[in-house]
Amino acid sequence: MRIAIAGGHGKIALLTAGLLTRRGDEVLALTRNLEHAAEIEAAGATAVEADLETMDAAALAAVIQGSDAVIFAAGAGPNSGIPRKDAVDRGGAVLLADAASQAGIRRYLLVSSMGVESVRGGATPEGVGEVFVAYLRAKLAAEDDLRARDLDWTVLRPGSLTDDPAAGTVQLSPDAPRGAVPRADVAAVLVALLDEPRSAGTVLQLIGGPTPVAEAVQAAVLAGSA
């Protein structure tokens, strides 16, 4: 497969690219800064300059043309303010969906966040800072936009992210409780979801757990079709 990953220099993207390229897939890592090309290429991916805040859908479609799938793993980053949360976490995801549609790419995996439902309908959860609320709202808006499209989409909502080594086991379901999960296991789940077309149309929450990744994906797909 040929997969384009937005946010290609991010931790989850690099881990995902490594898993994909080691098994023989081709990965285009979309990054706004080619100074990160060496790290991207060390993961086996090809660094491609693509600034989701400045380019239009037609230009991005030209970049990702010929891909079998796209993954949105971009984010404005922990030190960014409210405007960039919307510009990247919502606007970038919408732009990638527009570009995928123009390029004829149906498969789209969106890395979202656990907790987005807490801001649905304009709600403001207690004890949550305004910047994180803006992040959740941006992620929810990106989800809602994608879910309304005629694409083979899957939304993955990880819990709190850690840099712990991959456990290889997770808990994955539409209603998994709050918890933490290593980024390396998020990457493994993304790859498994790519390999399972029946996961299209599902919204899944992910935390650490006892079930091997491949089994967890199969169980989530079967539960979603029941």
Residues carrying an active site annotation: 135
57, burial (CB in 10 Å: exposed 0-12, middle 13-18, buried 19+): middle
**Contact 204/114 with Cβ under 8 angstroms?**
no
Q: Which residues contact 225 (CB under 8 A, 6 or more apart)?
A: 198
For residues 78 and 162, the answer to whether their CB atoms sit within 8 Å is no
CB neighbour list of residue 159: distance below 8 Å, 6 or more residues apart: 114, 176, 178, 179, 180, 181, 205, 206, 207, 208
